[in-house]
Amino acid sequence: MEDNNLLAQVKVRAQEWLDGNYNEHTKEEIRKMMREDPEGLIDAFYKNLEFGTGGLRGIMGAGTNRMNIYTVGMATQGLANYLKKQFAARDRISVVISHDCRNNSRLFAETVAGIFAGNGFEVYLFEDLRPTPELSFAIRYLHCQSGVMITASHNPKDYNGYKAYWEDGAQVIPPHDKAIIGEVARIKDPSQVKFDGPEEKIKIIGKEVDEAYLQAVTALSLTPEAVKRHHDLKIVYTPIHGTGVKMVPTALERYGFTNIIHVPEQDVVDGNFPTVVSPNPEEHAALEMALKRADETGAELVMASDPDGDRLGIAVRDDKGEMRLLNGNQTATLLTYYLLTRWKEKKKLTGKEYIVKTIVTTDLIGDIAKYFGVKYYDVLTGFKWIADIIRRNEKKMTFIGGGEESYGFMIGDFVRDKDAVSTAVMMAETAAWAREQGKSLLDLLKDIYMQFSFYKEDLLNIVRKGKKGAEEIQAMMDRFRHNFPETINGANVMLIHDYLKQQTIDLISDLRYHITLPKSNVLQFITHDGSKVSMRPSGTEPKIKFYFSVKRKLETPEDFNKTDKELKEKIEAIKKDLGLVK
């Protein structure tokens, strides 16, 4: 009965679109769902696609719960209304827009540009696809008040998305995010949207911003002499059909690397991502063609960026000559160690430098920072929170770098979001620096583990789609929050961090401590043996994420594989103990 009532309600909403001022293509898509796909109709109309704290993300198609020119248009009008209130005292308001390779991305970008122009804004629109970090850079370079990136990051091909940025080049945070959400919610109908603004208000940009951005990336170099001596380092790079296709190879060449090996099939810009199931560099399958190319050419480093060019997957050669994928924590560890080592060697550490990581990213980064006497911050998941720390420390301290476990890293503060371009060149430079010492990147990682501890992390995603799925995910969070485990895999739970309640519970002393970070639906359990389990619903996908971290001393490089296996087995035992796998 409940499903029948929901379908009836959905049909009413769908009929409003059929009767309204929507284009014929949209109406035909709705009619087809009404005839043939009642479940699809429900999912397309049972709610409005939520403009969340990061913007929009969803499946493309007709409906209130889909990415289309109308939902994008209403979101843009709401953002425009907020910008007009916030910057009412300014003579001009300007925005910059970019997009990735996805189907409809150019259409959505041009739609957004037209609406901003219709609201009287000065609009900068990139001539073609550009990476997310360049959009972030362009906002500050062009002195804009806001920016929009059309992308669904590494989601499957059916998705698209909309990221909103503030004048500092970072994605919006409180209080702006909630206020923008409120303005978007007030736009009830496309008739409220100022589509088709004057073309003369839209300026097409490209090469000038590219050059300025590349100069900033190139200026990051810390060991150009090592690059010069090892310029022929064989590097396989793939953009996985996305925005890194020109910018990453160009940046590597600017650094001085001369042996960049392409994967021609994946240099083709294509929103259908024809060579992969998912364009996610976190997944082994997305790198298969690049790994094969590495074996064919004898390359020792593989790099793959996601469609919008902000995340980077890495693979390196092991002592058996086989390619081994690094996870995001390992990439962030190597980069942090390299950056701090070179800053120290170049006498650039003055006591006013810092790095930032997220609460679900390896604690090894914090150990490295402490060793070098560099302050580090823990923030909520998402680079907007790293950017917030940069904003707070502006002109008082120097940001060296920061990252998160989900394959994102940022070096320097000229970009205020994760950046696969600067990460790629710095990782290549780290490899050249390691070569100077007769080591591979994996050798360097083993050295770090021996000096500190072998931290091993893993991620488990449990996907639950649709309305029922969202309810199941919330039920899982409620179960762990209200019936938390006292032991995990035989180890006593010492601390519980509940970021929604902004409270830490010390189970040893039975004391409570206030968490100063903003509220977020995240739970963490810390055990007496140093293991950590974190859980949170994804803000962009229909899934709940479980993060696992365990550690053990690594005595010798020869013990690496054995210790790696033991830690992996420990993580699997934790998953079973928590009832997450059978």
Give the residue numbers marked as catalytic: 153
Q: Are 440 and 234 in contact (CB under 8 A)?
A: no
3-state SS track over 350-408: CCCEEEEEECCCCCHHHHHHHHHCCEEEEECCCHHHHHHHHHHCCCCCEEEEEEECCCE
Phi, psi of 372 (to 5 degrees): -90, 0
Helix (H), strand (E) at residue 232: none
Q: How far apart are CA 174 and CA 391, in angstroms?
A: 13
Query: Beta strand pairing status for 523-527 and 503-506?
Result: unpaired
Among residues 307, 334, 330, the alpha carbon closest in space to that of 420 is found at 307
Q: How far apart are CA 9 and CA 241, in angstroms?
A: 40
Upstream peptide bond of 133 is cis (omega within 30 degrees of 0): no
CA dist 338 → 331, 425, 490 (Å)? 11, 13, 36
Tell how many helices (H) and how many strands (E) occur in the chain: 18, 23
Among residues 75, 143, 153, 150, the alpha carbon closest in space to that of 106 is found at 150
Query: Beta strand pairing status for 312-317 and 260-262?
Result: unpaired
3-state SS track over 34-75: HHHCHHHHHHHHCCCCCCECCEEEEEECCCCCCECHHHHHHH
Query: Beta strand pairing status for 260-262 and 235-238?
Result: parallel
Q: How far apart are CA 156 and CA 67, in angstroms?
A: 14
Q: Are 169 and 383 in contact (CB under 8 A)?
A: no
For residue 223, the SS3 value is: coil
3-state SS track over 524-581: EEEECCCCEEEEEECCCCCEEEEEEEEEECCCCHHHHHHHHHHHHHHHHHHHHHCCCC
Q: Which residues pair with 427 in a beta bridge?
A: none
Among residues 166, 316, 147, the alpha carbon closest in space to that of 234 is found at 316
Among residues 126, 55, 121, 125, the alpha carbon closest in space to that of 83 is found at 121
Among residues 463, 462, 461, 467, the alpha carbon closest in space to that of 65 is found at 467
Q: Are 553 and 453 in contact (CB under 8 A)?
A: yes
The neighbour count for residue 302, using CB atoms within 10 Å, is: 28
Burial of 179 (0-12, 13-18, 19+ CB in 10 A): middle
Q: How far apart are CA 130 and CA 160, in angstroms?
A: 15
Among residues 435, 420, 438, the alpha carbon closest in space to that of 234 is found at 435
